[in-house]
Amino acid sequence: MLFGGEAMIEMGQIVYGLCAFTALACTILLLRAYYRTRHRILFWSGLCFAGLTVNNVLLVMDRSLFLNIDLTTWRLVAALTAFLLLLHGLINDDH
């Protein structure tokens, strides 16, 4: 079998890690653009992606490091917080 159980776990870990890295890169780029331009939507988007980065790091930890501990609740709280920050920025920011 080309992709046995162990190879699938390694591939999943790679994908989870790449997702976390991508969310971190988006956070950095959005917040850098905010500091240059001071457009508030970039600030709220950067905070949202910071929360999504936390969510993805928790996913990596949940699936790779802490196999006996379920971090699903913490991941969902991080994702909900991230999207609520973006929603708050979209609704209440008047600039």
Task: Work out how many domains the chain is built from and give that number.
Answer: 1
How many Cβ atoms are within 10 Å of 61's Cβ, its own excluded?
17
> Please, which pLDDT band fits residue 2 given cuts at 50, 70 and 90?
very low
Provide the 8-state DSSP code for 52: H
Domain with 70 in it: 39-95
Q: Is residue 77 part of a domain?
A: yes
**Nearest Cα residue to 45 out of 2, 87, 91, 74:** 87
Gap between the Cα atoms of 32 and 46, Å rounded: 9
Q: Is residue 5 part of a domain?
A: no
Q: Is residue 92 part of a domain?
A: yes
Q: What is the pLDDT of residues 26-69, one digit of tens each?
A: 999 999 999 999 999 999 999 999 999 999 999 999 988 888 99
Gap between the Cα atoms of 53 and 58, Å rounded: 8
Q: What is the pLDDT of residues 58-73, one digit of tens each?
A: 999 998 888 899 999 9
Predicted local confidence at residue 41, as pLDDT: 95
Provide the 8-state DSSP code for 49: H
Q: Is residue 16 part of a domain?
A: no
Q: Is residue 31 part of a domain?
A: no
